[in-house]
Structure 1
Amino acid sequence: MSGVGVLDKAVAILEATVDGASLAELVERSGLPRATAHRLAQALEAHRLLVRDEAGRWRPGPRLAELANAAPDALLTAAAPVLSQLRDATGESTQLYLRRADERICVAAAERSSGLRDTVPVGTALPITAGSGAQVLLAWEPPESVLPLLPRCRFSGRTLAEVRRRGWASSVAEREPGVASVSAPVRDRQGRVIAAISISGPIERLGRRPGERHAVQVIRAGQRLSGL
């Protein structure tokens, strides 16, 4: 605690929303009075430090990522060589995605130098409703935060259960026609999934079962970035 009351309360609200939180959950997790929690959450939302998802639950907002990207980040620093090595090992473009509300943001990438490739520029926002990267970012989320999204997803709850079981995801023409991908989780020191590492490329090269060829390499790359 810093001793600055309003700042400590605002941080408590932010910490309470890591996995999404209703107003009742904000009160329970932060220990703040209902009126105080609601007022601070609304103020943080006005500054884009919090956003509300389709279920009305508060989640960390895009301004946090913008501020974080202005400072050196251990994950992004480590990602550059890992993505390059994964690209060279698989021959495919590689990406690192973070979830931001109902989108996933490409925060690092390594592209093939030539030939047909799936290019995802750094900073690109893609929907959280399609693609293997989206599957990974949702598979370990609490059910109450995933269920409202499923009607719009190109994959099912059964697909997410399979991703959790085997530890990786694949997609074929799910996000974009002609594109296949394989993704695996990146975890923090507590074991929580914080990012998805992916390879992507044309179906004609990766095939209809891309995980059979590349899942092990993608999983190992995710493990190298975990726990930073």
Structure 2
Amino acid sequence: MTTEQFALSPSNTSPAGTSEKLELIKSGVGVLDKAALILDALEKGPCSLSQLVNSTGLARPTTHRLAIALERHRFIARDQQGRFTIGARFAELATAAGEDRLLTSAEPILQTLLERTGESAQIYRRQGDQRVCIAAVERTSGLRDSIPVGAMLSMEAGSAAHILLAWEDTEHLHQGLRHAQFSAQTLNTVRRRGWSESINEREKGVCSVSAPIRNSAGHVIAAISISGPVDRMGISPGRHYAPLVMKAGKYLSDAISRV
């Protein structure tokens, strides 16, 4: 039996209507077609497992297995009531697809940050369990924190990691904290004041200050940062640099929203 035949074959364990629904979206890869049914249902709003079964027409074990797999890959998340919802991975992919719009405005803003703070500046977005540097400018002399474009850094340390995790849904926030070098209280403080700092967290002798970049819906899609040696930036870098970094993040957020 081929994959397509399997996808379109009626099943005694599936609610009525499954075959007709799969017929409408058949791709020849049955498991993907069924996953698409689940995502289509969640596009309309949060669903319990029973609601997903009723909406998709899939068997309950199949629905549960696929929903858990999609959750593991962050295409699905859970709300506070335990219902399934569209996950953060879609926002990350949308960010990557629309990255050119952000980068068009980013270079002059990063250069201004460098000139006003004297420190290297970067923009990061989340990519799965890591963060990737998508734009950067560096000091031309003296000690500097050198992060090249394309560098992959851990989500377990650093002020940009704080920003990219702080506004996640509850479950993924808790998952992100399991191996992190910062605490839930740190993220509570980040959400309250709208910026983050780290000292000797990602690398000994290095500190950074970061702020969120948001899309038109208000979702955090990236983090803008400055970083440099503790000896130059001091042990409370946020007190001196947070207003400038936050202003840069807001400018880029507004620029994205205007496009």
1:120 matched to which residue of 2? 147
In 2: Cα distance, 1:59 partner to 1:26 partner: 21
- Classify the secondary structure of the residue corresponding to 1:81: helix
Q: Report if aligned partners of 1:133, 1:184 keep a CA contact under 8 Å in 2.
A: yes
In 1: Cα distance, 2:212 partner to 2:40 partner: 23
Do structure 1's residue 13 and structure 2's residue 39 form an aligned pair? yes
1:151 matched to which residue of 2? 178
Amino acid at match of 1:118: D
More helix by share: 2
Measured on the aligned residues, the alpha-carbon RMSD in Å equals 3.8
Q: Deviations over 1:79-103 (max 9, x none)?
A: 1111111111100000000011111
2:167 matched to which residue of 1? 140
Find the structure with the greater CA-based Rg: 2
Within the candidate set 183, 193, 218, 2:220 is matched to 193
Please state how far the C-alpha of 1:16 moved relative to its aligned partner. 5.6
**Cα 1:179/1:26, change in 2 over 3 Å:** farther
**Cα 1:165/1:103, change in 2 over 3 Å:** same
Amino acid at match of 1:175: R
Please state how far the C-alpha of 1:171 moved relative to its aligned partner. 0.3
Please state how far the C-alpha of 1:179 moved relative to its aligned partner. 0.3
Within the candidate set 85, 90, 100, 2:117 is matched to 90
TM-score scaled by length of structure 1:
0.77
Amino acid at match of 1:217: L
**Cα 1:88/1:51, change in 2 over 3 Å:** same
1:162 matched to which residue of 2? 189
- Classify the secondary structure of the residue corresponding to 1:147: helix
Please state how far the C-alpha of 1:5 moved relative to its aligned partner. 3.1
- Classify the secondary structure of the residue corresponding to 1:148: helix
In 2: Cα distance, 1:81 partner to 1:118 partner: 19
Number of residues of Structure 1 aligned to a counterpart in Structure 2: 211
**Cα 1:156/1:112, change in 2 over 3 Å:** same
Q: Report if aligned partners of 2:38, 2:67 keep a CA contact under 8 Å in 1.
A: no
- Classify the secondary structure of the residue corresponding to 2:142: coil
2:238 matched to which residue of 1? 211
Q: Which runs of 4+ in 1 moved over 2 A?
A: 4-17, 21-28, 31-42, 50-53, 57-61, 63-68
**Cα 1:72/1:141, change in 2 over 3 Å:** closer
Compare relative contact order (CA 8 Å, sep 6+) and give the higher one, 1 or 2.
1
Matching of residues 167-178 of structure 1 within 5 Å:
167-178=194-205
Q: Deviations over 1:30-78 (max 9, x none)?
A: x534647966997x99xxxx9359x9x97638x948973xx77201111
TM-score scaled by length of structure 2:
0.69
1:51 matched to which residue of 2? 73
**Cα 1:13/1:205, change in 2 over 3 Å:** same
Amino acid at match of 1:97: Y
Do structure 1's residue 60 and structure 2's residue 82 form an aligned pair? no
Structure 1 unaligned spans of 5+: none
What percent of counterpart residues are identical? Answer: 46
Amino acid at match of 1:51: H
Structure 2 unaligned spans of 5+: 1-23, 28-32, 78-83
In 1: Cα distance, 2:251 partner to 2:41 partner: 26
In 2: Cα distance, 1:112 partner to 1:215 partner: 19
Q: Report if aligned partners of 2:165, 2:176 keep a CA contact under 8 Å in 1.
A: no
2:136 matched to which residue of 1? 109
